[in-house]
Amino acid sequence: MKPIYQTAFQPPDGDCVRACIASLLGLPLADVPHFTGERWEQAVQLWLSQEFGLGLVPVTFKPEQLAESAMGYHLMDGPSYSGDWNHMVVGWRGQIVHDPNPNPRPAALKTTDIYWLPIILDPERFARRWRNEVEAQRP
């Protein structure tokens, strides 16, 4: 996970989702589409599937249940402390490890409503994509 920060903050144009996905994948913000609108979830799923063979499964857990059952990084979605809208952050086993909002504040979320767990939908596409990335970085 490579922390990437959002550049747009006010709904409906905020890009915390974009920044969280970029953070999970270790990509520059510009390499991830800006998902907005009522169908942003479907757009995220389609892009992740086509580009990486990945998906996100929305689940509801109590943080202690997630810590017992999930390994690795995930996204956390819930009401923001900054206003009357939702915000997304990166988590590790139920705990926030990266808030894409670069402005300091006491907490990112009031509560966590949904955990988005990454899954591999197409192992061959996933492996091919990352193998190509590694080969492209070799001297």
| Annotated domain spans of the chain | 16-137
Q: Is the pLDDT of residue 13 over 90?
A: no
Query: 14-52, pLDDT tens digit by residue?
Result: 999 999 999 999 999 999 999 988 899 999 999 999 999
As a residue count, the chain comes to 139
Query: 78-112, pLDDT tens digit by residue?
Result: 888 877 888 999 998 878 899 999 987 767 777 87
Contact criterion met (CB below 8 Å) for 77 and 50: no
Q: Is the pLDDT of residue 68 over 80?
A: no
Q: State the pTM of this model.
A: 0.86
Tokens read off for 123: 């192992």
C-alpha–C-alpha distance, residues 34 and 99, integer Å: 17
